[in-house]
């Protein structure tokens, strides 16, 4: 039993997580903690026994929680962590602030963070996953982040600490990112909003935005470049190798690889986490068998089967 006398936030035992993920699947977490503010989060982590695992969860836009649930305290940030402030060309946003809201607020102030507009999820997840699109990545605009360590200590981390890579970064085990500062470039507000609307229109024409999905399922394969260079190059797209393997529209139970965009895994209704992850693994095997390419998951999968 966890002592709740020293905290002001909401602590819920055996909390079903399926309704907190975009794919609407998954079992319960041992506990769900929704802190009131940073000080509340610090107090909670200080009193939490060291052997208890902590899993920070955003809005669940890039997550499969397995059907057996999660043997951990899930920490989900809410209203106390969604403020957005603009000072010059720097935007500081709480980790729970939605990427789209940050992009719009920045554009209002004449700061270009437009690439965030079509990225599902929150700023905490964007930093954690080095989210990006249209050739821009969170790492390109990142300046610093406030992080509460598993010990309860509040620290500031820079780019070198996070070691950004394609769709990856490094955070200390059990740490909870609570805010981030991003530096954009100046732009005309009207032009920035027009660009974002064009991006939204293009997304809606090419991606299954009205389906239950978690965005791109697999990372684009590294090391393939039209210029002949390797390293962290991603000219070859995951959807192309999935198509070449004949897996567009493939199904397993209630899970399907979208007919509209074959790198989107969707819950057509009634899918289990096992259906979704199992179909993803089928796709990975078929792609490897046909092309020799090993696709890497972009969606995070956590918990017990």
With beta carbons less than 8 A apart as the criterion, state whether 257 and 283 touch: yes
Q: How far apart are CA 154 and CA 151, in angstroms?
A: 9
Same domain? For 60 and 121 the reply is: no
Q: Whole-model pTM?
A: 0.90
- The CA distances from residue 10 to 18, 57, 64, in Å, are 18, 15, 23
Same domain? For 250 and 289 the reply is: yes
According to the model, what pLDDT value does residue 83 have?
98
* Model pLDDT for residues 71-113, shown as the tens digit of each residue: 999 999 999 999 999 999 999 999 999 999 999 999 999 999 9
Same domain? For 87 and 177 the reply is: yes
Number of domains in the chain: 3
Same domain? For 154 and 221 the reply is: no
Residue 264 lies in a domain: yes
According to the model, what pLDDT value does residue 230 have?
40
Angle at the Cα of 23 from the Cα atoms of 18 and 24, rounded to 5 degrees:
30
Q: How far apart are CA 192 and CA 260, in angstroms?
A: 28
With beta carbons less than 8 A apart as the criterion, state whether 277 and 301 touch: yes
* Model pLDDT for residues 204-216, shown as the tens digit of each residue: 999 999 999 999 9
**Token output for 61:** 């836009």
According to the model, what pLDDT value does residue 233 have?
53
Same domain? For 224 and 279 the reply is: yes
In the residue annotation, 153 being an active-site residue is answered as no
Which letter does DSSP use for residue 54 in this model?
A: E
Residue 89 lies in a domain: yes
| Domain harbouring 73, CATH code | 3.30.43.10
Same domain? For 272 and 234 the reply is: yes
**Token output for 209:** 């935005």
Same domain? For 58 and 110 the reply is: no
User: Which residue, of 191, 223, 247, is where some domain finishes?
Assistant: 191
Same domain? For 187 and 106 the reply is: yes
**Low-confidence residues of the chain, pLDDT below 70?**
1, 223-234
Spot the catalytic one: 76, 128, 167, 248.
167
Among 162, 160, 131, smallest CA distance to 147 is for: 162
Same domain? For 148 and 250 the reply is: no
In the residue annotation, 144 being an active-site residue is answered as no
- The CA distances from residue 232 to 15, 18, 164, 221, 263, in Å, are 39, 34, 12, 9, 20
| Domain harbouring 118, CATH code | 3.30.465.10
Spot the catalytic one: 61, 179, 213, 216.
216
What's the chain's average pLDDT?
Answer: 94
In the residue annotation, 216 being an active-site residue is answered as yes
Domain extent, residue 104, equals: 81-191
Burial (CB count within 10 angstroms: exposed 0-12, middle 13-18, buried 19+), residue 56: buried
Residue 202 lies in a domain: no
Same domain? For 136 and 166 the reply is: yes
């Amino acid at each position: 039993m966890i002592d709740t006398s020293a905290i002001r936030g909401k602590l819920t035992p055996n909390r079903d997580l399926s309704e907190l993920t975009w794919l609407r699947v998954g079992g319960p977490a041992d506990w769900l903690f929704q802190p009131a503010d940073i000080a509340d989060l610090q107090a909670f982590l200080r009193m939490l026994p060291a052997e208890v695992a902590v899993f920070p969860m955003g809005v669940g836009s890039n997550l499969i929680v397995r059907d057996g649930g999660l043997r951990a305290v899930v920490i989900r940030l809410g209203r106390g962590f969604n403020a957005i402030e603009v000072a010059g060309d720097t935007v500081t946003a709480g980790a729970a602030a939605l990427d789209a809201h940050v992009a719009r607020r920045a554009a209002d102030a004449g700061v270009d963070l437009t690439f965030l507009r079509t990225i599902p999820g929150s700023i905490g997840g964007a930093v954690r996953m080095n989210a990006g699109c249209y050739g821009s990545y969170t790492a390109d605009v990142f300046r610093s982040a406030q992080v509460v360590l598993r010990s309860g200590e509040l620290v500031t981390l820079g780019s070198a600490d996070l070691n950004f890579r394609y769709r990856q970064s490094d955070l200390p085990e059990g740490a909870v990112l609570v805010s981030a500062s991003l530096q954009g470039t100046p732009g005309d507000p009207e032009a920035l909003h027009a660009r974002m609307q064009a991006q939204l229109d293009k997304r809606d024409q090419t991606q299954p935005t009205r389906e239950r999905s978690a965005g791109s399922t697999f990372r684009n394969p590294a090391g393939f470049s039209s210029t002949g260079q390797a390293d962290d190059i991603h000219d070859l797209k995951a959807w192309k190798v999935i198509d070449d393997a004949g897996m567009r529209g493939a199904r397993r139970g209630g899970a399907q690889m979208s007919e509209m965009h074959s790198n989107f895994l969707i819950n057509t209704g009634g899918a289990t986490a096992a259906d979704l992850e199992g179909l993803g693994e089928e796709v990975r095997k078929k792609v490897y068998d046909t092309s020799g390419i090993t696709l890497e998951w972009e969606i995070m999968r956590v918990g017990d089967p």
